[in-house]
Amino acid sequence: MTVGIGGGGGKLAYELDPQCTVVNVSEAELRKLPTESRILATVHSARGQMRGSRKDPQIGRDAFLSVREELLHLAQGELVFCSTGGGTGNGIASGLLAELSGRDHVAPAEKTSFALILPYAKLEPAEFVDNTIAFLQGPLSEAIDSGNTGNIFLFSNRLKFETRSSEADYNRALVDTLIQYRAIPRKGDECRLLDGHIDYEDFALYSAKPYFNHYTSFAFNPEEGYEKQFQANLNPYLLPPENPIEALFLLEAPPNGAATPFYDILEHFAKENVSPVFGVVENPQVEQYHLTVSVLYSRKPMELVEDFNQVSHRHTQARVRKSLEQHVPLPRLQVNLESEAKRAGRQRGAADEDVLKVLRRLGKL
């Protein structure tokens, strides 16, 4: 069962799996999704229960304690969706990651994978960027180091803003790519096998690796080099990958198509010192070769943090410039102390000579 934490994570989880479990600190947000499995994480404020975490991850971290045991059980071996910029998804997921980091060992079948939705720092609020930085360099980094998570998918809102897509359309398109990827073992099971083999167990073991996962799917031309086609068809919803540590691919051949094009793909990965899990099947529903490929990579969270730090720094500079531009300079007043003192003295009935004596005594004249 898929788990969605927070507003953004819940919507994506429901899009992928209508039987998902959604977790939130806001009763109003929970009621927006028709799934039957809802968990209200308790915040010690009736007002907080209605308003949510208001971009404050600490509220989410505190609320995690109220759902700790239930969430640990539900997330075991499953995929968890959450956004990193807000308060609920960030905070509750931080608590979950910390729990996993503290365990001595997690069996592959019990490892939790995370689909993280990163903000588009160029256009989203500065708080989202700052929350993401803290999440990446803290709980996520520690969880990766522990080796106790499964694959981590780094989705980005960049394409949503650049294409000006609605949230519903964007979520649907993003989830469609994930459905295509997760169909690999089913196709390997249902289609006629031509070479290699990927079953559900192979796919589950691959998904249990504690690395970042970049997957994509595209029409494959056996006459062109694999690397060029891969780079031209990177998944635009995910962050670009680094050098692969492990890989997996399924090549679907049309009826009567040769199985041999997969050798070129294997040779490419051999140059990267990677031995991929692979399968080649004949799929009567395709008219040309189709390739679905995943690479696992270990881009350190600190490198991701540096990316977001640069954007955050630019945001800060822009705010400072804006503040300076809005500063209104006050005109400098030229005041004659003797004249002003005499005027003030006359208003109080004092003689000019008495005022001048006082000023001389004070050293002002």
- Domain assignments of the chain as residue spans, ordered by start: 1-182+301-341, 204-299
* Nearest by Cα to 88 from 35, 144, 23: 23
pLDDT at 223: 93
Identify residue 184 by its one-letter amino acid code: I
Residue 354: its pLDDT value, please? 66
| Contact of 139 with 101, CB cutoff 8 Å | yes
- CA dist 140 and 283 (Å) reads 39
pLDDT of res. 48: 46
- Residue 136: the pLDDT is 92
With beta carbons less than 8 A apart as the criterion, state whether 265 and 101 touch. Answer: no
Could you tell me if 222 and 289 are in contact, meaning their C-beta atoms sit under 8 angstroms apart? yes
Q: What is the pLDDT of residue 126?
A: 84
Contact by Cβ (8 Å): 13, 4: yes
The residue behind tokens 């955050």 is 312
| Structure confidence at residue 1 (pLDDT) | 81
Instruction: Choose the CATH number for 204-299 among 3.90.550.10, 3.30.1330.20, 3.30.420.40, 3.60.20.10.
Output: 3.30.1330.20
Give the chain's residues under pLDDT 70. Answer: 44-52, 300-303, 307-338, 340-350, 352, 354-365
Q: Using the structure block, give the residue that is written with the tokens 């519903």.
A: 168
> Beta strand pairing status for 246-253 and 212-219?
unpaired
Residue with tokens 């003295």: 345
Q: Is the pTM of this model over 0.75?
A: yes
Length of the chain equals: 365
In terms of CATH, what superfamily is 1-182+301-341? Tubulin/FtsZ, GTPase domain (3.40.50.1440)
Q: Do domains 1-182+301-341 and 204-299 have the same CATH topology?
A: no
Could you tell me the end-to-end alpha-carbon distance of the chain, in angstroms, rounded to an integer?
86
**pLDDT score for 122:** 83
Residue type, 90: N
- The reported pLDDT for the residue numbered 355 is 56
Instruction: Identify whether the C-beta of residue 49 lies closer than 8 Å to the C-beta of residue 26.
Output: yes
